[in-house]
Amino acid sequence: MDRNDLSKIQQIIGFNFKNLDLLQQAFVRRSYSKEHGGENNEVLEFIGDKVLDLVVVKILSEEFGSLASEWDDYNPNEDFNEFVSEYQENKLTEIKKRLVEKDTLANCIDDLGLAEYLIMGQGDRKNNVQESPSVMEDLFEAILGAEAIDSNYDIARIQDSVVFMLNPKAIIFEDEINYVQEVQDWSLRRTGELPEREFEENYGYYTMSPGLLNPHAPAMNEKHTCYVTVDGVKKAVGYGVNKVMAHEDACKAIYDYLEDNNMLYTIRDEIDNPSLNMAINQLETLSRRGYFSLPEYEYKESHDNNGNPFWHVECHIDEVEYYFDADSSSKKQAKKEAAFEMLKYVLDNYEERYQKTEYTEWKLTHKWG
């Protein structure tokens, strides 16, 4: 791993290290340290596991709760200044579990392309352990452990990095538009690279550079500026009270530009060649990419006059009001045909990827939303 690699990794994770040796250590597997000496990332992984729990709890408490004094109708003479949360402990625990589980962290590392920088011994390389979800989960936690040591446990800085890497809102509010995730996905699909981003702090002044998307003056409390650039799209500027909000503001400008110019990928772009033989897998692919929930199939077996089995299969998706069915002497063939009919329908008719959720309604009506 050289300086260029370390520089690129810092950009990907949204964290600048004072001690680059710590960042490199986060990528060193025990198999390598056994062969070559030096430290590995296992203790950093232990630290990062605990730090991640704290940061995620902080994110959830900020997203779903506040002190009563932040309400518009708070009366200090009548109301207790208590902490109020939209969700109770069991619901928050469920959301936290989704955010920190192995598959979530592994998918994050995989999407960001960070596993390719792992420093491994010969045995690990031979077994391609960099493709293991457990190894990628360990790497995510080791990176956070390195950040904790480097920043002297600056939770605000670590939280910014977690937001960049994990994109928790995409998981918490999976039915709403997450502009950061959408722009990242668009850029990765178009170029294979993440968007470029730069941050500045403004102190009562700003510049209106020609050609910038989203040109406007920041509000008085918006001290952070973010510039985001993706291939083929002009640079956008965003402002916020913190770096995360500035990043979201700039990405929304990019997304709006793509939408206005019909440059967004649609559901039809996801499937190159819809086919009967691949329909089951193609429907599942669209589900995994967030267009709708996993298809469900119902099977009913009967027999003809000669006693031969005959299958009736129905395909259903929660977000689609229609069932599609098929009959065949082969259970597998009936499933394929039902899936193919559903696939053709959603490709022709399914336009609303993002649906209103209970949370959306709450944010529109809640007194501190």
In a domain, 355, yes or no: no
- Residue 339 tokens read as 């899936």
Assess whether 142 and 248 both reside in one domain: no
Assess whether 252 and 287 both reside in one domain: no
Res. 360 pLDDT band, cuts 50 70 90: very low
Amino acid at 254: I
- Give pLDDT, residue 364: 31
Length of the chain, please?
Answer: 369
Is the pLDDT assigned to residue 133 strictly greater than 50? yes
In a domain, 70, yes or no: yes
* Count of domains forming the chain: 3
Residue where a domain stops, chosen among 172, 200, 224? 172
Is the pLDDT assigned to residue 241 strictly greater than 90? no
- Give pLDDT, residue 359: 31
- Give pLDDT, residue 175: 54
Angstrom distance (rounded) from CA 359 to CA 116: 37
Assess whether 239 and 291 both reside in one domain: no
Res. 204 pLDDT band, cuts 50 70 90: low
83-85/196-201 β-pairing: unpaired
What CATH number is given to the structural domain containing 313? 3.30.160.20
Q: Among 124, 137, 138, 141, which one carries the catalytic annotation?
A: 141
Assess whether 152 and 43 both reside in one domain: yes
Assess whether 13 and 122 both reside in one domain: yes
Is the pLDDT assigned to residue 361 strictly greater than 70? no
* pLDDT higher at 63 or 324: 324
Assess whether 166 and 185 both reside in one domain: no
- Give pLDDT, residue 13: 92
- Specify whether 270 is catalytic: no
Which residues fall within 8 angstroms of residue 363, CB to CB, at 6 or more apart? 369
The string of pLDDT tens digits covering residues 46-97 is 999 999 999 999 999 988 888 888 876 678 888 888 888 878 888 899 899 9
Assess whether 151 and 33 both reside in one domain: yes
H-run or E-run covering 324 = strand 324-328
Assess whether 345 and 237 both reside in one domain: no
- Lowest-confidence pick of 267-276, 293-302, 313-322: 267-276
Assess whether 184 and 167 both reside in one domain: no
Residue where a domain stops, chosen among 242, 265, 288? 265
Q: Among 45, 49, 147, 160, which one carries the catalytic annotation?
A: 49
- Give pLDDT, residue 206: 64
Is the pLDDT assigned to residue 365 strictly greater than 50? no
Residue where a domain stops, chosen among 265, 292, 307? 265
- Specify whether 49 is catalytic: yes
120 contacts 130 by C-beta, under 8 angstroms: yes
pTM above 0.85, yes or no: no
The string of pLDDT tens digits covering residues 150-179 is 999 999 999 999 998 988 877 787 656 778
Assess whether 38 and 155 both reside in one domain: yes
Res. 369 pLDDT band, cuts 50 70 90: very low
What range defines the domain where residue 205 resides?
Answer: 179-265
Angstrom distance (rounded) from CA 214 to CA 112: 27
Q: What percent of the chain has pLDDT over 90?
A: 41
Sheet with 196-201: list strands edge to edge.
196-201, 224-229, 236-240
Assess whether 188 and 229 both reside in one domain: yes
Q: How far is CA 125 from the centre of its chain?
A: 28
Assess whether 31 and 160 both reside in one domain: yes
